[in-house]
Amino acid sequence: MRFSMTFPVLASALLSIATSKEVGYFDSSECVDRSAFESCYEKADQYLASCISNNCVGGSDSCSDACGGSVTCIQNKCPNLGVDCMKACDCAKTVEYIDCIATSCWNQAYSCEYQATINDLVGTCVNMDLDSIPFWPPPDDATTGCSCNMGKILYTQTIDTKNLDNCYDKVTELNRAGDYDRAEAYGRQCLCCGQSSAMSTYWDVCPKTDPSTLGADIAQVLLGHNDWDACGPRLSNSDCVADYGFSNVTNFYSPGKFPVNGTETLSNTGSPITAPISGPTFTWTFKGNLHPITAVPMSNKADATKAQSSGSTSTPTGESGAGLVRPALTLMFTAISGVFVFAAI
Ligand SMILES: *[C@@H]1O[C@H](CO)[C@@H](O)[C@H](O)[C@H]1NC(C)=O
Ligand SMILES: *[C@@H]1O[C@H](CO)[C@@H](O)[C@H](O)[C@H]1NC(C)=O
């Protein structure tokens, strides 16, 4: 049996921290077409509310209406609703958000805000193909965008999760063959590699950013439950890339051997994007469904001169930044516990 993809409520809870000025994670005044963007998000939010009341068992209109579309509220106040069902609706809503952004806020495609939105997507949509997500993760050589490539962190951690699944299969195989000692050793070493890679990515991808801004503190708490302290010798005895198939994108730091912490908070840097990255029209695919996009022209921007000259856009709060990396990591640790328990049988 493979691990089920269970994500915490956290991902969607973050959506509700928006202030009146913000639309989702965005300051809509920064978008190419503010009014188109706002009405597109509104439509997606309405879709979410009706998706939940039409599809999720036990839903009553009065219950979900009282929550104004907030998934967190609905989860708390409408306990009969299926969490998986709501996640599916939330996933579909975030897919609509991406269409909104690609259409009328494409100048923010590499922003911290967009990457935080993708965090929610990955946090609520099961079995998704990361490579289908437009503009994500931002390329290493992007001259504009978030000061930390959070997408690359999440991407790496998601690959780590898949790799842990492969280890799980291998452990299952060894156990089936009665090779219990090797199964346990293999499971423990692989676990250390996965934990180390998932942690190291904060420091390796964004060395200048304060890792606590990115959720590394929470990750450390999770590590505490997974025998991380025993990983020093195990990591020096393993070649995580060659023996366990982990990506070479990051180092595999041992407990207590991490580089010095960065100090920066998250911000958008560089000149704003002035032409749609994928051209005026393009199509992206989500689970086999085509999403044709027609980017609104730059001339729609009410304040076009500001768009050309203003170097920085709004900065998401530390909390929204932290939100980006938490869900995938939690998923990974769900998987890790599975490997661990299995290996210890
Ligand atoms: C470095 O960051 C980690 C993760 O946020 C934190 O736990 C640790 O205390 C920090 N170290 C120092 C010396 O501030
Ligand atoms: C990582 O792996 C890729 C492909 O497997 C390889 O091309 C690249 O040189 C490796 N990078 C490092 C730093 O080892």
63-87 confidence digits (pLDDT tens): 666 776 676 776 677 666 677 888 8
Q: What percent of the chain has pLDDT above 90?
A: 45
What is the reported pLDDT for 226? Answer: 75
Amino acid 127: pLDDT: 81
d(CA 198, CA 219) in angstroms, rounded, equals 9
pLDDT higher than 70, residue 308: no
Between 262 and 336, the more confident residue is 262
Cα 303 to averaged position of ligand 1 atoms, centre (Å): 41
Q: Is the pLDDT of residue 280 over 80?
A: yes
Report the amino acid identity of residue 126: V
Ligand 1: which residue has its CA nearest to atom 1? 261
Q: Which residue's CA is the nearest one to ligand 1's atom 7?
A: 217
The atom of ligand 1 lying closest to the CA of 211 is: 5
| Bridge partner residues of 290 (DSSP) | 285
pLDDT of residue 343: 39
The pLDDT value recorded for residue 61 is: 61
pLDDT, residue 57, reads: 62
312 DSSP assignment: -
- Provide residues with CB under 6 Å of ligand 1: 211-212, 216-217, 220, 261
- The answer to whether the CB of 200 falls within 8 A of the CB of 250 is yes
> Looking at residue 219, what is its pLDDT?
78
**Whole-structure pTM value:** 0.80
User: For residue 216, which ligand has an atom nearest its CA?
Assistant: 1
Q: How confident is the model over 91-107, as pLDDT tens digits?
A: 999 999 999 999 999 99
* 35-49, 182-196, 266-280, 308-322: least confident range: 308-322
Kindly provide the b/e burial profile for residues 47-86, where b requires at least 16 CB atoms within 10 angstroms of the residue's own CB. Answer: ebbebbbeebeebeeebbeebebbbbbbbeebeebeeebb
Q: Quick one: DSSP state of residue 262?
A: P
Predicted local distance difference test score (pLDDT) of residue 164? 87
* pLDDT, mean over the chain: 79
pLDDT digits (tens, 9 = 90+) for 152-206: 998 998 888 888 888 989 999 999 999 999 998 999 899 999 999 989 999 999 9
Give the residue, out of 206, 209, 223, 261, with the most ligand 1 atoms within 8 A of its beta carbon, to mutate for a pocket test.
261
Q: Which atom of ligand 1 lies at the shortest distance from residue 258's CA?
A: 1
For residue 246 the two structure tokens come to 């982990």
- Which ligand 1 atom is the nearest neighbour of the CA of 212? 5
pLDDT of residue 81: 67
The CA distance from 82 to 75, in Å, is: 9
Percent of the chain predicted with pLDDT > 70: 75
Both structure tokens of 343: 């290996």
Question: How far does the centroid of ligand 2 lie from the alpha carbon of residue 248, in Å?
Answer: 6
In tens, the pLDDT along 10-65 reads 233 333 333 335 899 999 999 999 999 999 999 999 999 888 878 876 655 666 66
Task: Compute CA distances 342 → 170, 286, 291, whole Å.
Answer: 11, 34, 41
Closest among 152, 148, 149, 150 to 262, alpha carbons compared: 148
- Looking at residue 85, its pLDDT comes to 84
Residue scoring higher pLDDT (275 or 300): 275
To test the pocket of ligand 1, the residue of 148, 202, 212 to mutate (highest count of ligand atoms within 8 Å of its CB) is 212
**Average pLDDT rounded to a whole number, residues 249-254:** 92
Ligand 2 center to 160 CA (angstroms): 16
Q: Residue 275: what pLDDT?
A: 92
Cβ neighbors of 58 (< 8 A, separation 6 or more) are 78, 80, 81, 82
Residue nearest ligand 1's atom 14 by CA: 261
- Among the bound ligands, name the one nearest to the CA of residue 203: 1
Minimum CA distance residue for ligand 1 atom 5 = 212
DSSP string, 213-237: GGTHHHHHHHHHTTTGGGHHHHHHT
Which amino acid appears at position 228 of this protein?
W
Dist CA 266 CA 321 (whole Å): 7
Give me the residue label for tokens 């999720």. Answer: 56
**What is the predicted pLDDT for the residue at 11?**
31
Q: Which ligand is in closest contact with the Cα of 246?
A: 2
> In terms of Cα–Cα distance, which of 153, 257, 264 is closest to 212?
264
52, 46 in Cβ contact below 8 A? Answer: no
Specify the pLDDT at position 253: 96
